[in-house]
Chain A
Amino acid sequence: MLAWGFLGPSVAIFALFLVYPLGRTVYLSLHGNDIIGRPDRFVGLSHFAEMASAEYVQVLITTVLFSVGVVVPGVVGALIIVLLMEGVIRGQRFLRGAFAVPFAFSVASASVIFAVFYSPGNSVLNGILYRLGLDQVPWLTSQEMALWSIVITTVWMNLGYGVLVLAAGIGSIPKEVNEAARIDGATGPRLAWDVTIPMLGPQLFFLIVISTINALQSFGQIHILTGGGPVGSTTTLVYSIFQDAFAYGTSDFGRASAQALVLLLVVLVCTALQFGVIERKVHYS
């Protein structure tokens, strides 16, 4: 059929690199493998059972801390910025553009820049703290701090996206809504809290879900800045998948596949949540 001819190229790529891999991941997750990664024995659910071990529970905790740490300041920061920008009369376009600039930076370039900022030898940030008379921070060398240093880098990379999404949302609020609220005497923070923020509900929700999914998939900044350390303190789920499958020549594809399925499940739940809520919103308008 003609339509399938047009769909064919996409369908072929999806089948080969998306559908088949999902099946293969399930298969691999149920098997042990030899030293070069060939599955050689059926192990049932034991890879999943291993994820209850202290080591992997720590990985999951780190993943959750990292995601919450990235999403909350990212979304709140973007919201404050767009609300403030509403009060600006001239230069709104310029400001929106300026806040969007970090979007141009790849995860690798952003990480390299922050590596210089955090560098234990001659940290630019510590230099600034020193000028301000503040204490030095062991950005990447302390187990307590390293994860938050990566969080800061990630928030910097993603903030512009949040600003763009929410600014587009504010732009789509009908003028009459603001007029009506003003006639009722709502101004400033009141207007923001009672009218603008509720009207931004769908965009805020979208932003929270997308930011969470992105945070869960963060990889490059961890690989470049800390390599999962010190002492595993920045090893998230995706980084753990990478380590088991591709680092140090371990090729532990079975164990990594089990973790990949957990990641898939978490992302699916987040997405389902979004579709459920947005479906309901659509009926309103």
Chain B
Amino acid sequence: MTTVERDTVPARAGSGRVGHRHTPGHVAGRVLLYLTLAVFLIPVMFPVYYVFAGALMGSQDLSAFPPRLLPTGVNLENVQGALDAVPLLRMYGNSLVMAGIITVSQLSTSALAAYAFVFLRFRGSAVVFALFLSTLMVPAEATFIPNYLTITGWGMGDTYAGLVMPFLAYAFGTFLLRQSFKQFPRELFDAARIDGMGHLRFLWTILMPLSKPALTAVGVYVFITSWNMYFWPLIITRSTEMQTLQIGLNSLKVGEYSNPGLLLAGAALSVLPTLALVIFGQRFIVRGLTAGAVK
């Protein structure tokens, strides 16, 4: 720790958003602060940069030593090569179908369960809710062997049904939606009921539209995590036609080990949808991710 930092970074953090001091020491402190942040930011952003830069590089850029860090020209041969080596588009579709089904299903099962916990008073609901939460403690890896035996025993190995079945419900969504449903004014619920509105109709036409922020947070979170799943799709799929994009990336790596351009092109293609979600849906992700952290 230098004296400069001791003097100025503190002052900066301390003075908050008001009271700029333009002393030389202060300026040096700010420079130091930004430099330190850059020291962290550069290694974090470099792989993000390089996956796209490298995907567009020609083989002469990639095979040079040391490998080039800036592409000398834009070139799409890696993208074409990756698509030729492994049926990535088909796998894209598989991932989309898998993540889509899991997301819609978890939103539905979670909304129904959360509705029961908030609006349908029943005996033992506190115990049942605690049991729901306790399912979150079980690491999926501890259940994969029996689930693999169950799914293959039903003849569903290497099918969409087999890919999604164990993940159709998850208590995390129930937990978040319950928090959101609890905000709904009880009098309005009672009024709707007295007017003769059925539970499902109330849930679908009134509660769900009003809970869009929570539903989006859960949906975005579930979509990204299931899109990124690796272990389960690896063991439950056999054929190239059923494999998801993530498993395709591994096949690409095994098959094209010595061709970095193809690997980077495959990784770049695979990351586009989730990257878009993270960039444009960040506030929803923050909500979903940090739900357990901030009381």
Contact = CB atoms under 8 A, between A and B. Distances in A.
A219 B139 contact: no
B278 A101 contact: yes
Nearest to A115: B253
A160 interface: yes
Given A3-B116, A84-B37, A110 B286 contact: no
A115 B227 CA distance: 21
B93 to A, nearest CB: 16
A124 interface: yes
Given A242-B231, A260-B141, A112 B14 contact: no
B141 A101 contact: no
Contacts of B253: 111-112, 115, 224
Given A124-B67, A271-B137, A25 B145 contact: yes
Interface in A79-100: 80-81, 83-89, 95, 97-100
Contacts of B239: none
B294 A203 contact: yes
B11 A188 contact: yes
Interface string B105-134: 000111011011000111001001000100
A161 interface: yes
Contacts of A264: 138-139, 142
A124 B66 CA distance: 7
A116 B116 CA distance: 50
B47 A102 contact: yes
A105 interface: yes
B98 interface: no
A168 B263 contact: no
Interface in B41-59: 41, 43-45, 47-48, 50-51, 54
B171 A10 contact: yes
Contacts of A191: 10, 13-14
A111 to B, nearest CB: 8
A139 B14 CA distance: 42
Contacts of B72: none
Given A98-B44, A107-B246, A189-B1, A7 B113 contact: yes
Interface of A: 1-4, 6-7, 9-10, 12-14, 16-18, 20-22, 24-25, 28, 37, 77, 80-81, 83-89, 95, 97-117, 119, 121-124, 126-128, 130-131, 156, 159-161, 164-165, 168-169, 172, 178, 182, 186-192, 202-203, 206-207, 210, 213, 216-217, 219-220, 223-224, 238, 241-242, 245-246, 253, 256-257, 260-261, 263-264, 267-268, 271, 278, 281-282, 285
5 contacts: A102-B47, A104-B224, A186-B14, A223-B250, A263-B139
6 shortest interchain CB distances as A-B pairs? A188-B10, A127-B66, A106-B228, A21-B146, A187-B10, A220-B230
Interface of B: 1, 5-6, 9-14, 16-17, 33-34, 36-37, 40-41, 43-45, 47-48, 50-51, 54, 62-63, 65-67, 69, 108-110, 112-113, 115-116, 120-122, 125, 128, 132, 135, 137-150, 165-166, 168-169, 171, 174, 199, 224, 227-228, 230-231, 234-235, 245-247, 249-250, 252-253, 257-258, 260, 263-264, 266-267, 270-271, 274-275, 277-279, 282, 285-286, 289-290, 292-295
